[in-house]
Structure 1
Amino acid sequence: MRVLMLSWEYPPKSVGGLAQHVYDLTSAMARQGVEVHLITCAAAGAPRYETVNGVNVYRVHPYQVSTPDFPTWVLQFNIAMLEEVIPLTRRYGAFDIIHAHDWLVAYAARALKHALTAPLIATIHATEFGRNNGLHNQLQNYISNVEWWLTYEAWRVIVCSRYMEGEIKYVFQTPADKIAVINNGVDPANFAHRSQRVNRDFYAAPNEKIVFYVGRLVPEKGVQVLIRAMPNILAHCPATKFVIAGKGPYEQELRSLAAHLGLQNRVYFTGYINDEVRNALYHWAEAAVFPSLYEPFGIVALEAMAARTPVVVSDTGGLSEIVEHGVTGLKAYTGDANSLAHNIIHLLTNPSLAKMIQERAFRMVQTQYDWNTIARQTVDVYRQVDRERRNRDWKAAQERQGRILERVQHLIKRSEVGGQR
């Protein structure tokens, strides 16, 4: 099976969790004999073409023309992707499946679907509606419309959790039989190595317990809830240091909140950290905390579990499905600083509970969130769609759609002429 995959993120270009998802998924698919051609965005220092774990990776530069906004840049990026794919079809022949990740590749995915008459699979990792708790401006509405359009054009829509299944049913009215729920995964081997080159003293004093957050600094990740919980935690566990790793547009507001609460010396904002530092901090941390207000899946919780770090999460979205309270982690009420503080204190003051949680969680990620299993499930969706496509007369369906569109346009034109009279 030959698959054409489109994603704007792929290492070393990493903005959120999408890059790691696509890297691990494609690598596992290649191990299972699937021929994967991935089109992604160029990144500094990365080659234009390379083979990564058996995956053909093509990196494209969006047109070097100044753009007034991000959606215009996305359009230019999509045209560059199309230009990259056209010669690939001459070199390799037909693709059995086109797989698009999120709205940033929707334009190219839809064009290739119809030009190559290959069925389109779309993975929706999050929605604009969910990220912003509704649609509040023209840009958000536009992005949401493109997301809907991608799900409409897709033969199947893959989501990472039951929570996301419900969300796209509600937001996009996607039919249930069009949706496949396939969890994200994690590779524990990525978290097994703990470098001796990273110095713990740089982040916390020897007597301090570390509470660790890593992720984007945006409102929906709920770091502000963690900061509001800190005075309560420090009242019970005064020798605690909070390490917040990551970057994002909400960083200054978070720093201001910490300063307002007099926590400057108890919170360390690290900015971006590499995998080596991240793994070291997981190793040193007594708790990894992810207090998201919106979380389609919550792969960071799996990563912490793979690193054998006990987790405290908010009881929302995909995090609720990953964590069993008191068994593989602790869950706090979403957006509730007191509840979050209570659960963190409970973990910090009960070493035996923390040990039990980390061991059970590690066993869970090994058995339930393995990338080889996830890749097989994804390829099963490909094969099912491929069988369904072979039972369809694509050309006849396109012609029928064209005739319907012409008829609608004719009726609209007649209506406009009639209105002018």
Structure 2
Amino acid sequence: MKVLMVSWEYPPVVVGGLGRHVHHLAEALADLGVDVTVLTRQPSGTDASTHPTTDTVVNGVRVIAVAEDPPEFDFGVDMMAWTLAMGHGFIRAGLRLLGQGWTPDVVHAHDWLVAHPSVALAEVFNVPLVATLHATEAGRHSGWVAGHVNRQVHSVEAWLARDADSLITCSASMSDEVTQLFGPDLAPITVIHNGIDVDAWSFAARAERTGPAELLFAGRLEYEKGVQDLLAAMPVIRRTHPGTTLTVAGEGTQITWLKELALTHGVAAAVDFAGRRDHHDLVALMHRCDAIVLPSRYEPFGIVALEAAATGIPLVTSTVGGLGEAVTDGETGRSFAPFDPAGLAEAVCDVLDHPQVAAVRARRAVERLTEEFTWRVVAQRTAAVYRAARIRPSAPRPRPEIPLRPMPDRDPNVNA
């Protein structure tokens, strides 16, 4: 089987979790004997006139990376123009495969940014189009897609979802979200959880705590990650567990707002906004802290929960989206409802009050990882989707409805 995988990020270009996902999936598929070619881009700022397309084989995966052409567009300012220019470069590189006599059996698109080249190349090669929707614009903004660019992104997502011959989501909740937003006449949706390289996240048993508790958040500092709820819960946690501190590892657009919230809640001195940490530092933080708290208000899956579980740190997560599927309350971690600082504080205090019980749950979480979330399992399930995919008959694609539900509990000073 031959697969053309299309992704706007792939190492060394990694923006977020999508790039890591595609990387591990591609190499795991190659290990299964699948002929994988990844069509991706070179780092921003590389001009096609001076940086020709590269074509290399890395760990059994053929990686074709195109430079920006033209280079004048800036993603942060001209997102749609930048995306279309990138897609044009992808199409040109994909068409060259025809001249080399290489034709895929399936095209696999990862998210809306590669919708245009993926749809075009699937039509040219006359093969099924499989699309993985890692998140949605509506979900990222709790239904608030009134902005012009937000509506454009939502429309492209709808087009990709409705044009695909088979769909993959990383959680059952994400499957429901896609059906609600873009259904009902979609291709079959298969839920395949994200995977994790357990060996890259070394396990360490919790040492008995002798001083104040240390909590950790790791992830992007965006509204949907719910760090504001964790900051609101910190005064309650510190009243029952004096001296408790919080390390916030990550960066994002909401950093200024979150620092202001820490001041508002009177916990600024107890919160360390540590910025983005490399892998080694993040593992060290997970080994040191008493619990990781992931209070997301929207989370298609939550790969950080798996990475943290592999290190042995007790998990305290919201029940939203994929987190509710990755963590079983009372068995592999503690959970609380999203948007609920009081429930968050109660779950954290339970972990701090009963460290031995929390350690038992942490070990159960690691055992579950090795059974359900290995990349080999993810690759096997994905290959099964490839084999089953068939080109669907052409049908009218109605314009998508634009969800305009206001974001709940929205701070008007925070950008969408």
Q: TM-score, normalised by structure 2?
A: 0.87
Q: 1:321 aligns with which of 315, 322, 325?
A: 325
**Do residues 13 (structure 1) and 13 (structure 2) align?**
yes
Letter in 2 for 1:74: T
SS in 1 for 2:83: helix
Contact 1:193 1:279 in 2 (8 A): no
1:168 match: 178
Q: 2:63 aligns with which of 57, 62, 65?
A: 57
Q: Which structure has more RCO (C-alpha within 8 Å, separation ≥ 6)?
A: 2
Contact 1:161 1:182 in 2 (8 A): yes
1:212 match: 216
Q: Distance in 1 between matches of 2:54 and 2:270?
A: 44
Q: 2:73 aligns with which of 48, 66, 70?
A: 66
SS in 2 for 1:238: coil
Counterparts of residues 326-337 of structure 1 (less than 5 Å): 326-337=330-341
Q: 1:305 aligns with which of 304, 309, 318?
A: 309
Deviation at 1:206, TM superposition (A): 8.4
Q: 2:225 aligns with which of 211, 216, 221?
A: 221
Contact 1:222 1:335 in 2 (8 A): yes
1:408 match: none
Q: Distance in 1 between matches of 2:213 and 2:64?
A: 44
1:125 match: 134
1:89 match: 98
**Do residues 294 (structure 1) and 298 (structure 2) align?**
yes
Deviation at 1:177, TM superposition (A): 5.5
Q: Distance in 1 between matches of 2:82 and 2:187?
A: 34
1:27 match: 27
SS in 2 for 1:242: strand
When residues 317 and 77 of structure 1 are mapped into structure 2, their CA distance, relative to the original with a 3 A threshold, is same
**Do residues 105 (structure 1) and 105 (structure 2) align?**
no
Give percent identity, aligned residues only. Answer: 37
Contact 1:151 1:174 in 2 (8 A): no
Number of corresponding residues: 383
Contact 1:168 1:174 in 2 (8 A): no
Q: What is the Cα-based RMSD across aligned positions, in Å?
A: 2.2
Letter in 1 for 2:279: D
Q: Distance in 2 between matches of 1:172 and 1:37?
A: 29
Q: Distance in 1 between matches of 2:130 and 2:266?
A: 50
Render the CA deviation track for 1:81-122: whole Å, top value 9, x for unaligned.
112222222224211110000000001011111112121100
Deviation at 1:323, TM superposition (A): 1.2
Counterparts of residues 216-295 of structure 1 (less than 5 Å): 216-295=220-299
Render the CA deviation track for 1:114-169: whole Å, top value 9, x for unaligned.
11212110000111111111122222111111001001111001011110111111
Deviation at 1:314, TM superposition (A): 0.7
Q: Distance in 2 between matches of 1:271 and 1:73?
A: 28
2:402 match: none
Greater helix percent: which structure? Answer: 1
Larger Rg, first or second structure (1 or 2): 1
Q: Distance in 1 between matches of 2:193 and 2:86?
A: 28
Render the CA deviation track for 1:396-415: whole Å, top value 9, x for unaligned.
x67xx7xx99xxxxxxxxxx
5+ residue gaps, structure 1, are 195-204, 406-421
Deviation at 1:330, TM superposition (A): 0.5
When residues 249 and 175 of structure 1 are mapped into structure 2, their CA distance, relative to the original with a 3 A threshold, is same
Contact 2:212 2:241 in 1 (8 A): no
Q: Distance in 2 between matches of 1:339 and 1:58?
A: 48
When residues 297 and 360 of structure 1 are mapped into structure 2, their CA distance, relative to the original with a 3 A threshold, is same
Render the CA deviation track for 1:174-203: whole Å, top value 9, x for unaligned.
446621111111111111289xxxxxxxxx
2:166 match: 156
5+ residue gaps, structure 2, are 398-416
Q: Distance in 2 between matches of 1:370 and 1:92?
A: 34
Letter in 1 for 2:381: Q
Q: Distance in 2 between matches of 1:98 and 1:242?
A: 44
Contact 1:292 1:334 in 2 (8 A): yes
Q: Distance in 2 between matches of 1:356 and 1:189?
A: 20
Q: Distance in 1 between matches of 2:203 and 2:66?
A: 33
When residues 53 and 133 of structure 1 are mapped into structure 2, their CA distance, relative to the original with a 3 A threshold, is same
Letter in 1 for 2:41: C
Q: Distance in 2 between matches of 1:157 and 1:364?
A: 26
Q: Distance in 2 between matches of 1:14 and 1:339?
A: 34
